[in-house]
Amino acid sequence: MKFDSLIIGGGLAGLICGIRLQQSGQRCAMVSNGQSALDFSSGSLDLLNQLPNGENVQYAAQGLVQLAQQQPQHPYSLLGAETVLAKAAQFERLAAALKLNLVRGGQHNHLRLTPLGALRPTWLSPASVPTFDWVDKILSPQKVAVLGIEGFNDFQPQLLCDNMQQLPHFQQWQIHFDYLHIPELDHLRNDAREFRSINISQALEHKLNFQQLVAELKKAAQGATMVFLPACFGLDNDDFLKQLQQACGIKLFELPTLPPSLLGIRQHRLLQQAFEQSGGIMMKGDSVLRAEMHENRVTALYTRLNEEVALSADHYVLASGSFFSNGLVAEFDQIVEPIFGLDLFSQQQRSQWTHRRFAAAQPYQQFGAKINAHCQAMKQQTVIDNLYAIGAVVGGYDAIHQGCGSGVAVVTALAAADRILQEKSV
């Protein structure tokens, strides 16, 4: 089977790259082995929150200049600040066209409220999530209710309230918590494994007495002008939450729960749908076993479901993720990229893979494939002409402590896609 481009991995980076290529007339196939890290995400996308020296980043342009000085091997530093900002803006336009319902953005971070009651900087957030301007130190008075669901342990409203009240931003707020009693969920409470955000959302959409829920919500709100809820109201989008808000006459916001997260699942579904509707082929539940190469080019891939049939393309994109999805594999004495055996950023000594303090930045978080300024992957210090590495499989940065995982995914995805399109037009 022959394609213009073959993408390995169906997460954020792979899907964005595939959508961009498909919309530009390419014929793409995507090998996806199943669940993506998107399904476990908060729904907010980070561009760059913190520099290697620990300094917080408020303005992206300024942060990228400092980042290049402190960490020249970071993917952003390799691509250059101008390219990073251009691709970030390009993604914002794409997200709007795909109706991902993301707000804020631009070149400065805002603050989002986490389910533990902290304020965390980020770049883009779902419109249904409570967000605040960076400069607001003390917020104007509000009466707020944080409402959980009886028996649902993946969202703790009391903990959220207690932590919010410790922050100076909320010192003028009246905050209380309560729990919603929803009889339609009683059948789920018998098994904690079934009492998850996805199951709750499905039950609410199909077995719900809507007016009874409205009455219960208004009662628990106790006259609050804003209500914070766990993200359990709407599996595919936030339309159900909007209907509740209109019926209640109260501003309703949702917060991510412990994984799986509906906010991330919604984005994953929308992106998959966009890729397939644009003509892309999804090979779901499959994984790449091996690759064939000639000189400095990939010539074919063989997958678990196509062991005897070669999949070939003009260009290949590795978006296989990090350790979570086996895009990187930790053997006893080394870290490997299992498909192509790419050159990696990694420590040779196993004792150097981790830091003794659990909360410290862990060295293994920066392990990953080496790329050049065009996102082309490298093997034995040589660029592979038609192989691009994007997203979490790329090394040289700490997605967690630097708050840049989503940004690296979309920026490298679009940079690789545009490079492929440029080569195609030559």
User: Helix 405-425 crosses helix 12-23 at what angle (to 10 degrees)?
Assistant: 30
The residues of the chain scoring below 50 in pLDDT are none
User: Tokens in use for 295?
Assistant: 């000189």
Q: Determine if the peptide bond prior to 121 is cis (ω within 30°).
A: no
Please check whether residue 412 is in contact with residue 394, taking contact to mean a CB–CB distance below 8 angstroms.
yes
The alpha carbon of residue 262 and the mean position of all alpha carbons in its chain are separated, in whole angstroms, by 12
What is the structure's pLDDT at 61? 97
Exposed / middle / buried, residue 91 (Cβ in 10 Å: 0-12, 13-18, 19+): buried
Please check whether residue 58 is in contact with residue 312, taking contact to mean a CB–CB distance below 8 angstroms.
no
**Block residue for tokens 């210090």:** 381
Structural domains in the chain?
2-104+265-425 (3.50.50.60), 130-255 (3.40.50)
Q: Are strands 143-149 and 174-180 parallel, antiparallel or unpaired?
A: parallel
User: Which ranges constitute the DSSP H helices of 57-143?
Assistant: 60-70, 75-79, 81-97
Angle at 88 between CA 314 and CA 16, to 5 degrees: 40
3 state SS of 421: helix
Distance CA 107, CA 293 (A): 41
What is the structure's pLDDT at 378? 97
Q: What is the DSSP letter of 6?
A: E
Q: What is the DSSP letter of 46?
A: -
Distances (CA, A) of 193 to 188, 214, 260: 9, 27, 12
**Nearest by Cα to 339 from 367, 303, 371:** 303
What is the structure's pLDDT at 209? 84
| b/e sequence 233-264, b meaning 16+ C-beta within 10 Å | bbbebbebbeebbeebebebbbbbbeebbbbb
Beta-bridge mates of residue 30? 7, 282
Determine if the pTM surpasses 0.85: yes
Exposed / middle / buried, residue 53 (Cβ in 10 Å: 0-12, 13-18, 19+): exposed
Please check whether residue 129 is in contact with residue 151, taking contact to mean a CB–CB distance below 8 angstroms.
no
Distance CA 18, CA 275 (A): 6
What residues have CB less than 8 Å from 307, skipping those under 6 apart? 289
Please check whether residue 126 is in contact with residue 43, taking contact to mean a CB–CB distance below 8 angstroms.
yes
Distances (CA, A) of 292 to 289, 301, 350: 11, 6, 30
Beta-carbon neighbour count of residue 298 at 10 Å?
23
